[in-house]
Structure 1
Amino acid sequence: MQSIGSFTFDADIGELRDNFGKPVRLRAQSLQVLSVLLSRRGEMVSKSELMEAVWPETHVTDDSLVQCISEIRKVLGPANSRLLKTIPKKGYMLAPAELRRASLEERLGMLPGKPWVAVLTLALAVLFLWATWFLSEPVSRQVKTVAVLPFVNMSGDGEQDYFSTGLAEDLLTDLSKINALTVLSRSATFHSRSPEESAKDMATSLGASHLVDGSVRREGDRLRISVQLVDAQTGASLWAERYDRELGDLFVIQDDVRSQIITALAVRLVPGEADRIASGNTVKVSAYDLLLKGRHEETALTREGVTRAISFYKQAIAADPEYGDAYARLANMYDFAARFGWNDAGVIDRKLALTTAETAVRVAPQNPFAHWTLGRILARQQDGDPEMLSRALGSVSRAIELDPKNADAYAFISLLHIGSGRPAEAKRTIETAFRLNPEAPSWYVQNRGIISFMDGDMTAAVSDFERAAEKNPTASFTRLWLAAAYAQADRGEDAEWQLEEAAALGAPTTIRDAISTNPIFQDAGYRSKYEEGLRRAGLAE
């Protein structure tokens, strides 16, 4: 049995399984490709070698292999798919195995049958804290950089992954609103970790001063949640708690966890922050649970995932008709479905996206995500209308007013600025986004690459597009931008390779369609630069 991130592959029967041992569906050829890559893990395997191994004495085109690679990446998901690397002009490589991250309960010795370990660990932690408090010299105040790790699902049911992950994501989001803290992004912290890796080692690799870790066990409506805050420099636990409650108490638990962490970090909130981070949650827990399911489904942004997410968000709204977050999430999914042409009624999806986003702002006028969503959808539907562009800029600016540390809003408004021919503003806002979120997700990096591309700096553009593709290998539009940048940098073969990958991932196959799916670029000069790059890469008119 061989591991691929949180998945395992049984070579004897040719079967891929998730982290709970559940078989994952893959076509026979894709399983064979995966098997070959696993047999030579850590090595580059050329296209010709893979073609010969999987399709011996059979005439097939490179497209068949690229389709298999794309299918494997989609099944593995954004985090695990990074392990499958493209080596331009050569082939593919599966990165060396990574061990799974142990749960908090395992590391604290809290699993049944190990009570003495928990007692010993607690005693040592108390002794260590006492020694640190009385013997250490006063330390200067430092900027606190917090890494929230994904909570481990202890339910024994992979279907519950959405719940543990969602709780950690929301805690990360809440803490990131505090000015005195720098909170690392989800893309920086939500990955596998070896059980032997200490908190101090992980913090060093992440550049964090503190770690928040946890685990969740859910059985019906009963919750068992364990959370701890660790001083990464010393490895000492500054605060730890276990909650054994009913699902209906979930918001109370979340409020207490957030409050205890803020207290343990000795953070002084500035005026307005307490109100901004307080949940004041009037949402029904059942609706929130459905929202978490939808968020989990939409992560990979595949057609199937978006379709399921739409269903969950509709159910959440039915359970709570005033749920602003659910409306905003639903609006985003309609927008993606329209953008990628996943439904026959694309025009209807566009209208639904806009009206649903407007509803989100109406029912939740103080929700920055709702304003960010409306601005994003207005920008994609502006079709050269300066009034809609003005509304889009206003909505995203309002999101920033409501949440001054909203890195996503800064990253997106940078794209609006470059698309409108304002490079100076684009550079300023993307730099702010990276300052607020140094370990940025792939789309930040892509946006910065677009700004460099339009500025004529192809070296910087190629570097960012390559990095964005590495962060999210299933993002088809990143591949198109990378192909255009390679072509403008006189790297024609690399450009052709990226066009193949983009097509396999479902990207537009003509320049006209690629431009129509990027309506933000209304500046004629900048739009022509993108067209020329795609043309030189070999994309059809």
Structure 2
Amino acid sequence: MEIGARARPERTGSRCMDELDSAPDLLFESFRLDRRVGVLYRLGQADQSAPVVLGPRAIGLLGLLAARQGEVVSKDAIIKAVWPGRVVEEANLNVQVSRLRQILDQDRAQGSCIQTIPGRGYCFVAPVTRLGPDAQSASPSITELGTQLQQRLSIVVLPFDNLSGDPGQQYLADGITEDLTTNLSRFTDLLVISRNTAFTYRDKPPDTRQIGRELGVRYVLKGSVRRSAKRVRVNAQLIEAEADAHLWAERFDCALLDLFMLEDAVAAAIAGAIEPELLKSERDRIARRPPQTEDAYEFHQRGLWHFYRYTKEDSVEAQTLFRRAIAVDRQYTQPTVQLAITHCNAAYLGWADNVTFNYIEAYELAQHAVSLDARYPPAHFALGLVCMWTHRSDAAMASFQEAINLNPSYSAAHVLLGQMHLYRGHPEEAIALAEKGIRLSPKDPRLFIWLPALAGAHYQRGHYAQAVEAGRRSWMLNRNWPAGLRYVIAGLAQLGRVEEAKAALEELKLLNESLAFVEGNLRRLYKDQAAVDHILDGLRAAGFD
């Protein structure tokens, strides 16, 4: 895969985070914070303990406050340590503090472990015991840890091998490894093992099963870097640790122009490509086994399995499962996001009994998801999607852009931002953004949804053959998704291939019974009504009425 380069974000705050990573384990109240793997344990009787599900930001915040027990830590200092190099609103910090309080203060009689000091910051007031490396561990053994943590979607990026034949080129492989770890950490669904822990496996035999057990991760990403003259080749492999099974592999070739830009470009491309593979593998794994617990995570994953089947019946089942996940944990952002998207999809695909109600509920859910976690890119994506379908085009573009700002590898956001440019009468920009999104994740299971963006942009430019090709690829990938087929029919008719268009129309009518339904959807999206008439003219020429 040939890739381009992008501007490198400024790297700051790494020294502070390294200091946090080296802090000892911390014991307080009925909890132990294990800094080695970034996990909080709730301690029980008979030395039993169970991991608490917390994101990396919450773990970093807790580690900082608990390590400085009794001190007031300013909000600026917290943000610099927990969100290094990023501009973060204070509301994001408030969300993380609230989440920690919900967990830490459940059985606490007097006040919160984390006290707000007005005008100054936060102070951790519970007594803290610092455990050195020789202390008796209250945590499970490494094997037990692996068994427990593997209930979550988790990954480690092993140090990439330097195959250049020059030890002096190791810095290039290390830079790509670090950038990949950072990029994957932006996917809130993933627990990503820290760079410091991952680098302890340098120059060791890559026994993925053992690494999975020791770190409690389900997936391992490894690879190599080879530099030759002015070219660099990067190979990457995604492996399911327990089965030692390869899920994905790709080779990236690029020109050696600017090392920082090169590292970022490769890391972004790999992160964008493996994320859908990880999520698909996780959905399939959950779906293969019988239901085990009334667990929000499991309900969410089972819902995703139905969601991605893209049928009306599976949409209904997905909505039920997402609601059950939310009922178990009302602060769980992911099923809230997915329920919003599922409601929106059902409305514009004609699967909803009350389209207006679906759009209203989808909008409220998406707004709530953003309020739960303003740093979660899919929450902004969901809000953008609903706004796109409810005549809020400015808000849609802003939401998709915010999703990209939070995660530059967010392929779907690039594509839908391109669609917004199409609906505003700028097909050239639409093509560029759609192609970029597809390039970030060329084997994505959602590719059939993205290709109609290309088809529509080519159609509006009068490139009917390209529109037919992109639309046909979408239709061949998923025959329950009619958007691409519409451009196939209209494009063929515009090319004078009316009989082919009529044959394709028979398939479209199985999903979209009338032209009025298609017209209603198009007029929800396009600002330029002449563009809608252009599409309808092609469909009418094929005999659709």
Give the TM-score normalised by the residue count of structure 2: 0.49
Higher RCO structure, 1 or 2 (CA under 8 Å, sep 6+): 1
Give the TM-score normalised by the residue count of structure 1: 0.50
